[in-house]
Amino acid sequence: MTEVQELIAKATKKYSEGSIVKGRILEVRPREFLVDIGYKSEGTIPAAEFDEPSEVAVGDEVEVLLVRLENDEGMVILSKEKAAYRQNWDKISKVFQSEGIIKGRVKAVVKGGLLVNIGVEAFLPSSQIDIIPPKDLNQFVGNTYDFKIVKLNDDRKNVVLSRRELIEQERSEKRQQFMESTEVGSLVTGAVKNLTDFGAFIDLGGMDGLLHITDMTWGRLTHPSELLKVGQEVTLQVLEINREKERVSLGLKQTTHNPWDKIEERFPTGTKVKGKITNLVPYGAFVEIEPGVEGLIHVSELSWTKRITRPSDVLNAGQEVEAVVLGVNKDEQKISLGVRQLEPNPWDEIEQRYIIGKQVKGTVRNMTAYGAFVELEEGIDGMVHVSDLSWTRKINHPSELLKKGDEVEAVVIDIDKANQRIALGVKQLDEDPWKEIDRLYKIGDLVKGKVTKLANFGAFVALEHDIDGLVHISQLSEDHVAKVKDVIKIDDDVEARVIKVDKVERRIGLSIKAAHYSDEALRRETEAMDTMRPGDEMVGLAQAFEKAELEEYRPGEGKKK
């Protein structure tokens, strides 16, 4: 064997496949590096096997695994990763056994998690990346973190990592430290972790604290998002600590001056204030009169006279308004405001402007079953009760005489200033005809009139002086009458005798059949009427309108039941 052959044999024997050898970078190429290991030919290593390929330079030493001495092209096949894998596996096993921490660099996103290089390739499940699994895993690629090895399979060379366990452990230590070192009243700094309808959870760097919405600001807040956003750093005051349940209550407004201190001194009752409307609700308007201090204008305090049902009808959010302080409740942090107090109350002098007995004019604004409301001036109404519409007629509903929009004259009959009510009367415009009934109608008088209503017990006849008389069914004819409508109709003109006058009950009884009686026959008929029981035959006007069996007929209408 020649000397050259002996040298080659020694070299071949020294560089056996599967061994780890040292090499030197000869050339840096775009995708690979040429490496000299002292063998008869050089080898190449893919650039992807280096953590920082851009930092590799010619002359750098590197440990590599000799995969093959020669390939088809006579090149040596080398691997830096496989060399590191073999060298690191023992170290990884020791870390796993000792439950230690190992550093690794995230290489890529894979199904279910991340691929991490810790000297060997390891898997980091999504659930083990952080306490709350992140939505975007790409943010971790290229970064280096500490990990805990939670599973290692020596046969399959599989490694599973967890970053979450380290974070939880770190937070637990910080939480314990926080509980031991923090007292109520302390100032702490944290980041907004989450927002809810009732408040915000603050990450204090080891534990979460709750900042309730009522402790965010001295002013009014509808939702925490109006003041805070996720990730925002805030300085807060510790309000309460429950060490057993590890809960902390925080306050933001407590770090600033309380604007409600000495509020009664700054805003005494009667003070005029200016502010901006921050919110409109069905019952009123909230007005910010200084930062953190709001007052409420109740809808009833908007006007002395106008009928305002919703504040939004006259006010807008953001509008600048002037108001008067009506009351302050420091404990409940409430201020009552009024707008109408800026002007004189027209009801204060109502008795001078609407004297009882004075005749007034107005427009019918509304009607109810018990009366009609008459607008005397803007916002000032008077009410005409149905009983004050007529001296002689029984009015069941004001619509029988009035309709909405009518101009009416009336007399002021009463004023209730406390309840802001004016009572009006229409009938008081005229004298009560029943005061002179003895002069107007006497028993035996022959009268004429027009039939206005029919009932099953008789017919009502309109007489002069706006007085009604009743012809009982028994007084319609000498013959027996089964039904009133068989012998008489509405609007018929009739002639009858007055046979009954009751001033107390305001009733006039008429008889058609007695229209042509002699004086003696009329006397007998009158005596017969006097012997009848009240309500049996001589039914008064008041009762007639209220009787359940009332049967009234009008032209063009059917029978009313």
CA distance 552 to 385: 24
pLDDT value for 6 = 54
Q: What is the 3-state secondary structure (H, E, C) of 333-394?
A: CEEEEECHHHCCCHHHHHHHHCCCCCEEEEEEEEEECCEEEEEEECCEEEEEEHHHCCCCCC
Residues 200-219: what's their mean pLDDT? 86
Both tokens of 45, joined, read: 């290593």
CATH superfamily of 434-546: Nucleic acid-binding proteins (2.40.50.140)
DSSP 3-33: HHHHHHHHHHHHS-TT-EEEEEEEEE-SSEE
Q: Say which range, 372-381, 430-439, 526-535, has the weakest mean pLDDT.
A: 526-535
Q: What is the DSSP letter of 310?
A: -
Say yes or no to pLDDT of 231 above 80.
Answer: yes
Q: Which residue has the higher pLDDT, 245 or 117?
A: 117
Say yes or no to pLDDT of 84 above 80.
Answer: no
**CATH code at 3-82:** 2.40.50.140
pLDDT category of residue 557 using cuts at 50, 70 and 90: very low
Same fold, 3-82 and 182-255: yes
Number of continuous H segments (helices) and E segments (strands) in the chain: 8, 30
Say yes or no to pLDDT of 336 above 90.
Answer: yes
pLDDT value for 544 = 44
Nearest to residue 472, comparing CAs of 524, 523, 543?
543
pLDDT value for 529 = 61
pLDDT value for 246 = 78
First to last CA, the chain: 141
pLDDT value for 2 = 54
List CB contacts of 111: < 8 A, sequence separation 6 or more: none
Output the average pLDDT for the chain.
83
Cβ–Cβ < 8 Å for 92, 118: yes
pTM, 2 dp: 0.45
- Summarised one tens digit per residue, pLDDT across range 118-156 is 878 889 999 888 887 888 889 999 999 999 988 888 777
Q: Above pLDDT 90, what percent of the chain?
A: 19
Q: Cα 146 vs. chain centroid, distance in angstroms?
A: 48
- Summarised one tens digit per residue, pLDDT across range 513-529 is 888 887 777 777 667 66
Say yes or no to pLDDT of 547 above 50.
Answer: no
Instruction: Reply yes or no on domain 265-340 having CATH 2.40.10.120.
Output: no
Cβ–Cβ < 8 Å for 346, 422: no
Say yes or no to pLDDT of 531 above 70.
Answer: no
pLDDT value for 467 = 84
- Summarised one tens digit per residue, pLDDT across range 251-310 is 998 888 888 888 888 889 999 999 999 889 999 999 998 888 889 999 988 888 787 888
pLDDT value for 258 = 81
CATH superfamily of 182-255: Nucleic acid-binding proteins (2.40.50.140)
- Summarised one tens digit per residue, pLDDT across range 378-433 is 778 899 998 888 887 778 889 888 889 899 999 999 998 888 889 999 988 888 88
Residue-range domain boundaries for the chain: 3-82, 182-255, 265-340, 346-429, 434-546
Both tokens of 359, joined, read: 């005749």
Say yes or no to pLDDT of 71 above 70.
Answer: yes
CATH class name, domain 346-429: mainly beta
pLDDT category of residue 556 using cuts at 50, 70 and 90: very low
Q: What is the DSSP letter of 406?
A: -
Nearest to residue 325, comparing CAs of 314, 341, 346?
341
Nearest to residue 210, comparing CAs of 249, 241, 239?
249
pLDDT value for 549 = 33
Q: Which residue has the higher pLDDT, 180 or 540?
A: 180
Say yes or no to pLDDT of 10 above 80.
Answer: no
